[in-house]
Amino acid sequence: MKRTDGYGTGGGMGYNADGKPTADGGDARAKRAEELRRLIERHDRLYYIENRPEISDREYDELYAELKRLEEEDPSLIVPDSPTQRVGAKLSGKDAVRSEPHRSPMLSLDNTYSEGELREFDARVRRFLGLGSGEKIEYAVEMKIDGAAVSLWYERGLLVKGLTRGDGENGENITHNLRTIRDVPLRLRPEGGAAVPEFLEVRGEVYMPRAEFERLLCKQEEEGEAPFANPRNAAAGTLKQLDPKIVASRRLRMFVHTPGERSGARWRTHLEFLEGMASLGLRVNPHRRLCKDIGKVIETIAEWDDIRRSLDYDTDGCVVKVNDFQMQEALGFTAKAPRFAIAYKYKAEEARTRIIAIDVQVGKTGVLTPVARLEPVFLAGTTIENASLHNEDEIRRKDIRIGDIVYISKAGEIIPQVVRVEKGERTGAEREFRMPDRCPACGGRIERREGEVARRCVNQRCPGRYRARILYFASRHCMDIQGLGPALIDRLISEGLLRDPADLYSLKADAIESLEFEGEDKLKRRLGRKNADKLIAAIEESKSRGLARVLAALNIPHVGERKAELLAERFGGMDALRKASAEDLMKVESIGEVVARSVLDFFADPGEAALVDRLAAAGVCMRSSAKPAAPIADGSNPFAGKTFVLTGTLSGYTREQAEALIRERGGRCTGSVSSKTDFVLAGKEPGSKLDKAKKLGIRIVGEAEFEEMLGKRKGETTDS
C-alpha cells in the first residue's frame, strides 16, 4: 500500500510507487527502520510513561507493522532494542533461568508500624549524623508498591540484563521477561538535555494491576488452574515463566525507585534521581513528595492512606528516605538494611466472621467453584457475604470447615478471600466440606482433568453453565446490560424465558413485568412495568456495543477483552472473522496457534454458530465500530461532541470506566490538553495537565460535577 503521510514509501525513501525497493533502497530501508523505531519508542513513552498518547491505536499498529515488515524483508535491520524484539522465543531446558550475582546487594528495608517508630527513626538518623533537634533533615516519601523487586542493567543506554532480588546477593536472570514490559525501555532515550550514563543499574518493583489480576484470577478458575493468592504473587509467578509470550499477555507494569551501581551519572538527592529517571524514559511513581521534616512525613503517610485504595495497584505502605545522597552515604548500611531508609507499613484490613455454608457455583465453562457463605461483615468499604474458596485443594490446604471462625481480606482489595482459620476456637460442631459427586445445577457427570485442580461439569447444556454465561454476556465489560442481575436471570431461567444470551433479545415487557424475584436485600419484589421497560430499553441499547464487545461476551476460550478488540479491528465484521483461516488469525498481534484454534473450534460448533446467527438476526451490531450514543435532541447532553482530558485519580471510577462513560454519551477522550479541549476531569493528585488547563482557561470538572453530568444524562435517557 502506498503511503501518503510522509512516513511510508515514496521515491525519496528508496521505494517506487508500488512500494517496491529501488536500487538505493538499502540505505533508505535502514533510515526508515531507525525512524520507525524512534517513533514507536516515543509513542510508547507517551502512552505508558507519561499517560498522554498523541496517536490512535490503529496509527500505532501501522507504524509497528511497517517496521516488522521491513525487518522481515531484511533481517540485517534488526537491532536488539527494536520494539519488535520485546517478546522473544520460549526458553528451553538448556536456556532455563539461571542465578547470577548482583553488582551490589539488594537489601530489604526495616519496617515500622507507628508514628512513634517513625520519630525514633528520625532520632536515630540525627544521632548518627550528629545533628541537633533544631537542624532540618529533608525526607523523600514514596508509595511502597507491593510487587516483585527487580534490577535493570543498562550499558551505554541499552538494556543488557534484568535480575530478580533473589536472596539479595544473587538473583535470577529474567531479562527475557522484563523486556516484554512496556514500562521498561529497551534503550534509554534522554529528554531535556539529560545524559545517558555509561553504566546504570536501577531497581524497582514489577506489579500486576488490580484489573489484570481480577481477569487472570477468573481465567485461572475457569481453566482449572490453581489461582494466585494476590497480585504480588501473580507478578512474581509471571516473571518466572519460560515463555515471554505468557508474560506479555499479563500486562505487567513497573516503577523504578532506587539507584544501584552507576558510572557517568551523579545526582544530589533521591528526588533528583527520580526526575532523572523520568527524563531517561523510565517510569517512576507519581506519588512521591519532599517532606521538610518527620512531621510532614507523618502527615503525608496519613493522607495517602485515604487514596491508596483507589489506585490500580497494591501498596502496603510508604518508603521514607533521607533525601540527600551525601547524608545517605554517611549513614551507610547495617548487615541487612540501609540506615537512611525505612518502610512504614499500613495495617492490613481484615475482618472476622463465620462460615455458615459452602455452596458450589457452576461457571460458564463448567468449572465448579466452592464459595463460602459468610455472616455479613463490613470490610474496606463494602459488606461482604461471600468469599471464593477457589477449589477443593485450597480448602484442604487451609483446612476450612463449615462453621469455622475465619479472617477475610480482599485479594488486591477486589476479591474477598479467607486469609486464615481460627482453629483454636473450634467447638467440634464444624463440618468438613466435600465437593459433590454430581453437578449441583444439572446432576450431570463431573470430571477432573489431568494436571488441573478444578472439577467441571461435562454437560454442555448445563443450566448452571448458561446461567453463568448469560451473566457474563450481560456484564459491564461485555454487553453492559444494566438492571440484569443474578436474581432476575435466575427467575427468567426458571420461567423458561432464558436459555442462552440470544433469548435476551426476544424478551417483552408484557411477559416479564409480573415476575417476582428476590433482591439483594433478600426481600421478594415484583419487577413492575417501569422496571420491565427500563430492562428492555437496556437490552435494546446493548445491540450497538460493536463487534469487540460481542466477541468478548461470546466467551470464546482464550479470547478476552484485548484479543476481542484486536480481532474486531483486524477483520471489521463477524462474517469476515468466521471465514478466516488459522493463518489469517495468526497474523493478528498476540494471536497464536492456541487462540486461533479456539476461535475456529468455536465457530465450527453448530450450537455456537447458531447462537451468533440468532444474535445477528436480533439486530446485534456485528461490525467493529458501533454507532455512538445519539446526542439528546434538545442539546442538553453535556458530553455530546465534547473533548475530555482526564488527570489524577478518581475515587468512584477507574480511568477506563470514566472514559467509557464519556464515549458512550457522544464525547471523546484525548491524552493531552490543548485549545481544543472542552473539559478536564480532575481527580486526586492531578498532574501538569491541570496547570495547563488553567492557563488555557479550560473548564475544570471535579468528580462530583462529573457525576451530576452523568446523572442528568441518565435521567433523560430513562425518561425517554
- Closest-CA residue to 305 (of 158, 37, 153, 113): 113
- Looking at domain 643-719, its CATH class is alpha beta
Superfamily for 11-85?
A: Helix hairpin bin (1.10.287.610)
pLDDT band at 24 (very low <50, low <70, confident <90, very high): low
Give residue limits of the domains in the chain: 11-85, 111-218+226-345, 351-457, 463-542, 547-617, 643-719
Helix (H, G, I), strand (E, B) or coil at 296: helix
> Is the sign of the CA dihedral 602, 605, 606, 608 positive or negative?
negative
Pairing mode of beta strands 170-172, 368-379: unpaired
**Is the pLDDT confidence value at 343 over 50?**
yes
Task: Say which CATH class 351-457 falls into.
Answer: mainly beta
* pLDDT over threshold 80, residue 720: no
Which of 31, 94, 144, 579 is catalytic? The answer is 144
Is residue 194 over pLDDT 80?
no
Q: Are strands 351-362 and 368-379 parallel, antiparallel or unpaired?
A: antiparallel
Check for a shared fold between 351-457 and 463-542: no
Report the pLDDT value the prediction gives residue 92, as an integer from 0 to 100.
56
Return mean pLDDT, the chain: 84
pLDDT of residue 412: 54
Predicted confidence (pLDDT) per residue in 399-436, tens digit: 999 999 999 987 655 678 898 999 999 999 999 999 99
Q: Which residues are paired to 516 by β-bridges? A: 526
Q: What pLDDT is attached to residue 414?
A: 63
DSSP, collapsed to helix, strand or coil, labels residue 139 as: strand
Q: For 236-258, how does the pLDDT look when each residue is reduced to its tens digit (9 = 90+)?
A: 999 988 888 889 889 999 999 99
Which of the four pLDDT bands, split at 50, 70 and 90, describes residue 120? very high
Q: How far apart are CA 589 and CA 625, in angstroms?
A: 19
CATH number assigned to the domain with residue range 463-542, chosen from the 4 options 1.10.150.20, 3.40.50.970, 3.20.20.220, 3.30.110.30: 1.10.150.20
d(CA 373, CA 692): 51
pLDDT for position 628:
37
Task: Note the pLDDT tens digit of each residue in 45-101.
Answer: 787 767 677 877 678 878 888 888 888 888 888 888 888 888 776 665 545 668 899
Residue with cell 469476515: 576
Does residue 631 register a pLDDT over 50? no
- CB of 379 closer than 8 Å to CB of 410: yes
> Closest by alpha carbon to 218, among 390, 453, 359?
390
Report the pLDDT value the prediction gives residue 89, as an integer from 0 to 100: 66
**What is the maximum span of the chain, computed from C-alpha positions, in angstroms?**
87
CB 560 within 8 A of CB 552: yes
Q: What are residue 11's DSSP bridge partners? A: none
- For 215, what's the count of Cα atoms within 13 Å in the CB-facing half-sphere? 17
**What's the predicted TM-score (pTM) here?**
0.59
Cell of 245: 509470550
Tell me the three cell numbers of residue 710.
452523568
Residues sharing a CB contact under 8 Å with residue 522, sequence separation 6 or more, in sequence order = none
pLDDT in tens, 664-679: 677 777 766 777 788 9
**What is the distance between the alpha carbons of residues 366 and 343, in angstroms, rounded to a whole number?**
44
Would you say residue 290 has pLDDT above 50?
A: yes
Quote the percentage of the chain above a pLDDT of 90.
40
The per-residue pLDDT for range 444-489, each reduced to its tens digit, is 899 988 777 888 898 877 888 888 889 989 988 789 998 888 888 8
What is the Cα 503 distance to its own chain's centre? Answer: 32
- What class does CATH assign to 111-218+226-345? alpha beta
CA proximity to 433, closest of 358, 506, 338: 358
pLDDT band at 684 (very low <50, low <70, confident <90, very high): confident
Q: Is 144 a catalytic residue?
A: yes
Which pLDDT score is estimated for 222?
A: 67
CATH match of 547-617 with 1.10.150.20: yes
- Average confidence (pLDDT) over 523-542: 87
pLDDT of residue 639: 83
More confident residue, 51 or 516: 516
d(CA 624, CA 632): 24
Q: Mean pLDDT over residues 508-520, rounded?
A: 81
For residues 194-202, average pLDDT: 89
